[in-house]
Amino acid sequence: MSKTKKAALWAAIAAVIIAAIVLVVFCPRTGSHVIDVWAPSESYSSADVAKVQKTEGEDFVILLFTDIQLWSFVWDNDETFEIMDELVERVDPDLIVLPGDNVSGLGTDILTLQLVDKMESYGVPWAPVFGNHDAEGNATLEWQADKFEAAEHCLFERGPSNLYGVGNYFVNIFEGDEPVYSLCLMDNGRYTDYGGSDEEIWIDYAQIAWYRRNVGGLAAEYGREIPSMSFSHFAFPEMAQAVEKHAVEGEDGRLYMPEEFGGGSCAYIPCCAPVNSGFFDAAKEMGLTHAFFGHDHENDAYAVVDGVTLSYGLKTGPSPQFWNDAKSYGGTVISIADDGVEVRNEVV
């Protein structure tokens, strides 16, 4: 073969490879657009809600994988997966919750498939929500939702289409035939325009009404208040207020929460919506005991506000190292016992 023909062959091969990369990385994966409108007048039945079982006399253990944020650097993802593997083996959870930013950057379709494969390998029920980075690549949230809903152990539901976002759903913990806790998973994971600046979006009023209907409906069905927890990506304004009011700056510049108001520390004031839609007050009135969130990789504080614990999940894994300054990696463990709830961070 002449040099000219060889050059032409290699040029053709290079063109095919480039075209394949463009197809994989940049062509959008749009997924299913499902219309499922919710109205407050709808009747409630716990039979329509995902259910997991607590063994009598044993703790029900939830493990948080917060801001996994798989991206284009394979070595970061490999380290993150190793951390996740160690945590699952160490903690032996009954449920794994992912509070958003599961993937980021380019090729989020491939990254989503890798994440699903990894989570399914544990054989444990898992419940993800979306964050601000999940939708930035070539796979829409609807496409990712299709993959989550098709996974055997994933409890994800995209939820009513007339609520904000994709992935508003509940998971109820039962012990035998009786509910123990109701877990609310909400999408509040993108930014919105506040008259010239983009900042974190609030939990909207329809989501608040939907929360009331689910928690109130479960209480009405069983004739008693059922405590609840919420999981979302952005912190509530009440968390930022608590840090501003009570945290003490240490010699390292971090903001430490005193024991009487919480614990842990923040590298900066929590990033949250600059307006307060009232979700915390509404949920508190109906039995909210804990709320968990991510987004701010460098923060690991918790605050107790009006008897409700507001807590960051510990950042899981180093990705993406270019703008990740978390002081430690691991997971957050929530143990629900008959006599209360214990929360701790497991550093790997």
**Tens of pLDDT along 203-227?**
999 999 999 999 999 999 999 999 9
Nearest CA-CA partner of 215 in 199, 230, 197: 230
Judge if 1 and 129 occupy the same domain: no
- Structure tokens given for 202: 């609030």
Judge if 8 and 79 occupy the same domain: no
pLDDT tens string 89-100 = 999 999 999 999
Average pLDDT across the chain, whole number? 93
Judge if 108 and 188 occupy the same domain: yes
Judge if 310 and 284 occupy the same domain: yes
Q: What is the CATH number of the domain that holds 78?
A: 3.60.21.10
Judge if 206 and 276 occupy the same domain: yes
Judge if 13 and 146 occupy the same domain: no
Judge if 25 and 41 occupy the same domain: no
pLDDT tens string 264-281 = 999 999 999 999 999 999
55 band by pLDDT with thresholds 50, 70 and 90: very high
Judge if 8 and 138 occupy the same domain: no
pLDDT tens string 75-114 = 899 999 999 999 999 999 999 999 999 999 989 999 999 9
Number of domains in the chain: 2
- The per-residue pLDDT for 281 is 98
Residue 130 lies in domain = 34-347
Judge if 18 and 75 occupy the same domain: no
Judge if 15 and 48 occupy the same domain: no
Judge if 148 and 23 occupy the same domain: no
At residue 190, does pLDDT exceed 90?
A: yes
Judge if 252 and 315 occupy the same domain: yes
pTM of the model: 0.92
